[in-house]
Chain A
Amino acid sequence: MSESEPAPKLFEAREPVFPKRVTGRFRNLKWVLLGSMLGLYYLLPWIRWDRGPNLPDQAILLDLGGRRFYFLMIEIWPHEFYFVAGLLIMAGLGLFLFTSALGRVWCGYACPQTVWTDLFILVERWIEGDRNARLRLHRQKKWDLRKVRLRLTKWFVWLVIGLATGGAWVFYFADAPTLLYDLVHLTAPPVAYITMFVLASFTFFFGGIAREQICIYACPWPRIQAAMMDEETLTVGYRDWRGEPRKRSEEVKAGATQGDCIDCMACVTVCPVGIDIRDGQQLECITCALCIDACDEIMEKTGKPRGLIDYLAVGDEASEKAGNAPRQIWSHILRPRTITYTVLWALVGLGIVFALFIRPDIEMTVAPIRNPTYVTMSDGSIRNTYDVRLRNKTGEPQLFGLSVAGDPTLQVELEGHDKVVVSVPADTSLLQRVYVISSPDSAPSLGEATKFRLWVEDMSTGERAYKDTTFNGKGN
């Protein structure tokens, strides 16, 4: 152990961050994105979509009880869950694409953590004032009436936002108007209240208290992104070759020519994660671009060109230092890597759309009953039984006809029906016991196992589907 150095501190307390208000094109873009994304999130469950009398009329509904997922005109059954897997692959590839082109653009603009934190900071600013006022309030030790009032108001509004967030979430899983009525009348299922409570708590904690710590310590994405960025990736950076030596630096005091940076700290005070972008790329930076807005405003005031802090690629540093003009944005974005990601993303998307179009309207699964493998009837014929599940994915009741092919001696009969036609109610599956009978002393009766094909036909459209299965005889 060294004799002079004190023991290292293993715990670092959080430095509270008080982002200052900022205006500019990126801030405006973020307001628009925040409004539209939150609006979509809160409003989507309320959009209606007519699917006929037997199906729910909610445009987007995750019906866990009924095991259906409704998305506009698309209806997903549990065995079609691979569509969701496809969407997840698309989301993954989309993240690859955006990260390789624009770095942590997801973190800075679209991540719910960022969007809700932005909203919470906005509320904080409305109630407690801008950066300096909030700093004063924070440093004020005494909890006088004003501080208590401001804090309580802020927490109350945060809680309302949190409740609305959890509330909007549960509406995706049930008929929204009915659920809202039940929630208000305290007759909704407990799981709805529990979900709302949990989500409200997490929204409050993540957006109000934890904030950037979630991004820095809890989220794996900042660690993964490094593998997806390269020297062509556009990310928020500081043109130190233009800004340095900054005002108040030792070099300037020693007489060197001052760079464009006047060391006004505008970029630091607006930063929601509390870093100085002029120190270079940092793990904490979510590329929210607010420092660009802050700096551009100062540059305009001092009569210098904008873009001291800007979206730039690490690979351009040498060229720009040599005095060349910054490269065009599109030349960073359009390159083999991003094009490859786009093509892959589009291929998966096309695959999903294609699979959606070719998925059959009638489906059948056949499970031979092997307890017993066959039954001898009184006339000596041999009978096999099959549990056949017929799916009617339309909104109308459908008649399904069954028939066998493969051996002429095989006859098909249905339990509980005189004819080989069965009606399946709308949007359900039906389990039907199907008998296949072979006459005495025929080859299938005496043999061990005979392959045959069971056909199902939609009696109204004539659409057909089949399943291959086996008939067990006495030789079994």
Chain B
Amino acid sequence: MSKPSKKQKGDPDTTGHVWDGIEEFDNPMPRWWLWTLYVCIFWAIAYTIAYPAWPMIKGATPGLLGWSTRGEVQAEIDAVNEGNAAINARLASTELTAIGDDGELNTFAVSSGSAVFLTWCAQCHGSGAAGAKGYPNLLDDDWLWGGDIEAIYLTIAHGIRTEEDDDARYSQMPAYGKDELLETVEITQVVNYVMSLSGAPKDATQVAAGAVIFEENCAACHLENGSGDREQGAPDLTDAIWLYGGDYDTIKSSVDNARFGVMPNWNTRLTEAQVRAVSIYVHQLGGGE
């Protein structure tokens, strides 16, 4: 720093700093700027008193207004629930088959059901409801327990193989291989017959032998023509849709060990309106009957 130049009368105040002859004015801060600063300081102090702010050992000071982010979210949720209370009550009390005719109610059920589906059902059935191996595709026209709105509602409400719900869907298939109810040869024959039902070309003698075994062991549930029985949850073996897969090894595994898919009974976890909403949603995905 070089020396400050001699101060003349009338010169403005300087800070005394000089760089290469350039001096720095010692002007006061503009008044508007200072007042803005004071207002901000006041605001900051008032804010920390009114709202949660200072960190303490257990959480922060609560603030005089009692405001919290959790409380705000809860208030929003309550507001939505309150707003939907009337239509949810209507949804829970309307005849299931009549919901589709009520345009407003149907629209509400579909969008509300979509949210329920993505929250609770998508883990197994997929976000697009296309299912996966062992988890039925809900978009097609093949149903184990029936695809009209009442059957879908019953399945969702009471679940499949749920022990705590007496109305749950139960289907029972013997594990023919594991429990040695059929010889390995017989199982091979019946698998060949089952595959021929949906049009796969198979050895005629195997198929003929398999047909006899099928009639004795399987037709009680799957019916004589193999078209299945929705009353018992027995799948249709003649169509193009296989829940676990339609190749030889998979079908043999199914006959050997039997399959026992499960689904929770949603009536204890969801409200009646939610169960109905998700039933309506599933029904309109493309397979509803």
Contacts and interface: CB of A to CB of B under 8 A. Distances in A.
A377 B147 CA distance: 14
B239 A378 contact: yes
Given A1-B23, A7-B25, A377-B241, 8 more contacts: A3-B8, A369-B128, A376-B240, A378-B141, A378-B239, A416-B100, A416-B284, A433-B284
Interface in A337-371: 369, 371
Contacts of A380: 239-240
A375 interface: yes
Interface string A411-437: 000011000000000000000010100
B128 to A, nearest CB: 3
Contacts of B240: 376-380, 440
B286 A379 contact: no
A415 B127 CA distance: 19
A278 interface: no
B286 A378 contact: no
Given A1-B11, A3-B8, A379 B140 contact: no
Interface of B: 5, 8, 10-12, 23, 25, 100, 126-128, 130, 137, 139-142, 236, 239-241, 284, 286
A385 interface: yes
The 10 closest A-B pairs by CB, nearest first: A371-B128, A378-B239, A380-B240, A372-B130, A378-B142, A375-B139, A7-B12, A375-B140, A378-B241, A378-B141
Nearest to B100: A416
Nearest to B242: A376
A6 interface: yes
A467 to B, nearest CB: 20
B12 A377 contact: no
A292 to B, nearest CB: 39
B117 to A, nearest CB: 13
A371 B130 contact: yes
A417 to B, nearest CB: 11
Contacts of A246: none
Contacts of B241: 376-378
B223 to A, nearest CB: 15
Contact of A379 (B8, B23, B139, B239): B239
A383 interface: yes
B134 to A, nearest CB: 16
Contacts of B140: 375-378, 383
Contact of B286 (A6, A433, A440): A433
Interface string A362-406: 000000010110011111100101000000000000000000000
Given A416-B100, A433-B286, A378 B130 contact: no
Interface in A117-136: none
Contact of B139 (A1, A3, A6, A372): A372
Interface centre among A3, A7, A378 (most CB of B within 10 A): A378
Given A376-B240, A376-B241, A379-B239, A415 B10 contact: no
A23 to B, nearest CB: 41
Nearest to A3: B8
15 contacts: A3-B8, A7-B11, A371-B128, A375-B139, A375-B140, A376-B140, A377-B241, A378-B236, A378-B240, A378-B241, A380-B239, A380-B240, A385-B286, A415-B284, A416-B100
Interface residues of A, number: 20
A396 B141 CA distance: 36
A375 B11 contact: no
A9 to B, nearest CB: 11
A375 B286 contact: yes
A436 to B, nearest CB: 12
A369 B12 CA distance: 75
A433 B110 CA distance: 12
Considering residues A369, A375, A380, A440, which has the most beta carbons from chain B within 10 angstroms of its beta carbon?
A375
Contact of A435 (B130, B239, B286): B286
Nearest to A385: B286
Contacts of A415: 284, 286
A137 to B, nearest CB: 27
Interface string A44-86: 0000000000000000000000000000000000000000000
A385 B284 CA distance: 12
A433 B283 CA distance: 13
Contact of A372 (B10, B128, B141, B142): B128
Given A1-B11, A375-B130, A383 B286 contact: yes
Contacts of B239: 378-380
Contacts of A372: 126, 128, 130, 139
Contacts of B286: 375, 383, 385, 415, 433, 435
A208 B207 CA distance: 99
Contacts of B25: 7
A134 B74 CA distance: 59
A1 B236 CA distance: 100
Nearest to B236: A378
Nearest to B238: A378
A119 to B, nearest CB: 30
A433 B281 CA distance: 13
Nearest to B21: A1
B236 to A, nearest CB: 7
Contacts of B8: 3
B284 A371 contact: no
A329 to B, nearest CB: 48
Nearest to B139: A375
A375 B137 contact: yes
A377 B284 contact: no
Contacts of A377: 140-142, 240-241
A371 B25 CA distance: 69
Contacts of A385: 139, 286
A210 to B, nearest CB: 16
A304 B280 CA distance: 90
Contacts of A440: 240
B142 to A, nearest CB: 4
B10 A6 contact: yes
A371 B126 CA distance: 9
Contacts of B142: 377-378
Contacts of B23: 1
A296 to B, nearest CB: 44
A351 B100 CA distance: 46
A147 B8 CA distance: 46
Contacts of A371: 126-128, 130
Nearest to B138: A375
A375 B140 CA distance: 6
A375 B236 CA distance: 17
Contacts of A7: 11-12, 25
Contacts of A3: 8
Contacts of A1: 5, 11, 23
A372 B139 CA distance: 9
A374 to B, nearest CB: 9
A376 B8 CA distance: 96
